[in-house]
Structure formats: structure tokens, C-alpha cells
Amino acid sequence: MSIIVNLDVMMAKRKISLNELSEKVDITPANLSILKTGKAKAIRFSTLEALCKELDCQPGDILEWRVEN
Amino acid sequence: MNTRLKIICILFGVSYLFLIGQVIYNEVIPEFVAGFKEGVKSVAKQHTGDETKESLPELYSFYVKPLSGSFTFPTPLKNLKTGKLVNAETNTFKIVLNTPVKLPGWIAIAKIIYKLSAFLILFFLIYIPILVYKLTRSIIQNVLFDEINVKRIRRIGYSILVLFGLLVFSSLVCTAEAKNVFSFEDYKIVHSLGVDYYLLLIGLITLLFAEILKISHKMKEEQDLTI
């Protein structure tokens, strides 16, 4: 998919672990892992909002569009 | 598990078993018994030294239609309840002939293919219930939206359609053979599939259901991967 999820980059920048973030945004670690590894098909606005709030960033910092090869 | 789905599954299983049982009881067992008796008779003749060359009887089964048209009831039958004659009409004939009839080349070849196709029909008659059983068990175990189930339903659909094709072919061969051997006063031999036409509809509906399930499976997958 040409949409890249940069959640791992943001998590590294904020020095937060997957389990910690999953507790804060109330998402299971399994689902957050799916999102982090780019396996997710879609993301809810509520999830994006919670992630942006916890990571103190913009949606564009988490999601990125790249031209598909 | 959804109770309605469970009830439908159980009803489906029971009616399928009933259908198969009915076919076996009404068609397969009488045919087998008749064939077995003929075989025993033939062996007994050989043992007693009866050297009269008698070929095995040939069974013909085909559809007929009154020459004067449907619902004209050309055959008189005696009603034993009242002792009076009643007008009747039939749509199928089953005739047994002890004397062999020489068939034209193309019918003879088609008949060989038809006899070989009986093995394929038998294969599908065993294969389809196995797939139905696996599918029903899978649904009862609460695994409905699965790629394997989609494949199973698709296989059932294609198998039913192939079975329908084989039955059409066998019916055509039987009709052609009967037309070559018989000619009746009140009836004409016609090609008909009887209830086998339902197989075409069932096959197509099954394939349609498989496609619907495939789309549903994809939607569920997307739903599961929406975080």
C-alpha cells in the first residue's frame, strides 16, 4: 500500500513502548502492532485522534503517502 | 453461534440425508437387486449347462409424451376399486429387452462414454456430500467467513454443474437409443430432464452464494484490520 504508517518512528521519538501506548490509547497491543507493522487496512478517526493526543503530533507525522513502485 | 444459522444447518443436513436416502431406497437398491438377480440367474444357467445363448437384458429408461399432446390421457387402466376403466397418462417408461438391438455407430460410442461417465457421476455423488459435511461442520464450529469455506462452496457449485452436464448427456444418449429401438402407438419418445433441471439452478445459486461469501469474507477481513 502507498500509505506508510510511521508509528514506530513517532514512538521512538517519544521514547514510548508499544504496551505503554496501547494502555494510554485504550487499544490492544495486538491491534497496535498491526497498525505499527503496516498490516492495517484502515484506521478510525478516534484511534488517530487518540494516537496524536498521546504522541503530541499531527496525523501527517503518523501517516505518509508515497508513490507506489 | 447464531441459532437461526444452526437450525438452517441442521435442516439442510437432515433434508440432504433424506434426499440421498430416498434416492438410494427408490432407485439404487431396486436396480442393484434386479441386477444381482439377473447375475444369479445367468450363473445358475451356466451351472445347469443351459447353453442357450441369451444375452444380458438391457434396461431402457426414457421420457415419453402422448402423441395427441400432454393431458390427453390415452392409456386406459382398470381401477380395481371400482372395476371401471380410467384414462391415464405416463411420462416415463422403463422397458427391459432380452434380445440385443444393433445400434448405429455413434450411439454405441456415446453409450460407452455414458457408461464410463457413470463413474464420474458416482464420484460426484460421494464428493458433494463430503464437501457439504465439511462445510456444515465448519459452520457449526462457528467458522463461516473462511477462505476454505468459500472454496468448498465453489467446489460444490461446480460439482453440481458438472453433474448436471453429465446427466444431460446421459439423458440425451438414453433418448437417442430409445428412439432407435422403440416406436409406440400412443406415445412419442421425448428428451426431458425431469427434476434434473433443478441441479442447474442449485449449482448456479451455490456459485452465487460462494461469491457473496467471498465478498463478505473480504469485508470481515477489512473490518478486523480496521484499528
DSSP assignments along A3-19, one per residue: EEE-HHHHHHHHT--HH
Q: Does residue B140 have a pLDDT over 90?
A: no
Q: What is the pLDDT of residue A49?
A: 93
CB contact under 8 A, B225 and A40: yes
Pairs of CB atoms within 8 A across A/B: 23
Mean pLDDT, residues B102-107 taken together = 83
| DSSP H helix total and E strand total for chain A | 5, 2
pLDDT of residue A2: 85
Enclosing H/E stretch for A30: helix A29-36
Interface confidence: ipTM more than 0.90: no
How far A59 CA lies from chain B's nearest CA (Å)?
15
Range in A5-19, A49-63, B31-45, B141-155 the model is least confident about: B31-45
B chain contacts of residue A31, beta-carbon cutoff 8 Å? 227
Q: According to the model, what pLDDT value does residue B50 have?
A: 60
Q: What is the pLDDT at residue B96? A: 84
Banded pLDDT at B193 (limits 50, 70, 90): confident
- All residues of chain A having their beta carbon less than 8 Å from the beta carbon of residue B221 are 41
| Residue of chain B whose alpha carbon sits nearest to that of A28 | B227
Chain A residues within 8 A of B222 when measuring between CB atoms = 41-42
Rg of chain A, C-alpha, whole Å: 11
Grid coordinates of A63: 501517516
Average pLDDT of B133-152?
A: 84
Classified as helix, coil or strand, B222 is helix
The pLDDT tens digits of the residues spanning A15-43 come to: 999 999 999 998 899 989 999 998 888 99
* CB atoms inside a 10 Å sphere around CB A51: 25
Q: If pLDDT is split at 50, 70 and 90, which confidence band does A67 have?
A: confident
Contact criterion met (CB < 8 Å) for B226 and A34: no
* Grid cell 415419453 in the structure block, residue: B64
Q: What is the mean pLDDT of residues B122-144?
A: 84
pLDDT for residue A41: 87
CA B204 – CA B194 distance, rounded (Å): 18
Instruction: Give the DSSP H or E segment for A62.
Output: helix A59-62
Closest CA in chain B for residue A43: B227
Average pLDDT over residues B183-201: 84
Q: How many Å apart are CA B150 and CA B170, to the nearest integer?
A: 30
Q: In the predicted model, what is the mean pLDDT of chain B?
A: 85
The CA radius of gyration of chain B, in Å to the nearest whole number, is 24
Q: How close is the nearest chain A Cα to the Cα of B221, in Å? A: 9
In sequence order, which residues have a C-beta less than 8 Å from that of residue B37 and are 6 or more positions away?
none
Q: Please, what are the domains in chain A?
A: 3-58 (1.10.260.40)
pLDDT of residue B156: 92
Please give the grid coordinates belonging to residue A52: 496524536
**Cβ–Cβ of A35/B222 closer than 8 Å?**
no
Q: How far apart are CA B213 and CA B144, in angstroms?
A: 9
Per-residue pLDDT tens for B23-62? 778 877 887 788 788 778 777 777 776 655 556 778 888 8
Query: Distance between CA B68 and CA B63 in Å, rounded?
Result: 15
Give yes or no for A31 touching B (CB within 8 A).
yes
Dist. CA B7–CA A26, nearest whole Å: 38
**Per-residue exposure over A10-25, b if at least 16 CB sit within 10 Å of its own CB, e if not:** bbeeeeeeeeebbeeb
Strand B85-88 with B92-97, pairing: unpaired
Does any CB of chain B come closer than 8 Å to the CB of residue A22? no
Q: Which residue of B has its CA nearest to A50?
A: B227
Grid coordinates representing B195? Answer: 427434476
- pLDDT, residue B55, reads 63
Query: pLDDT grade, residue A60 (50/70/90)?
Result: very high
Q: Chain-centre distance of CA B23, in angstroms?
A: 8
* Subunit contact A31:B227, Cβ cutoff 8 A: yes
Nearest-by-CA chain B residue for A26: B227
Contact list, A41 vs chain B (CB under 8 Å): 221-222, 225-226
Residue (of B220, B222, B224, B200) closest to B212 by Cα position? B220
Rounded Cα distance between B24 and B16, Å, is 12
Residue A12 contacts residue A22 (beta carbons within 8 Å): no
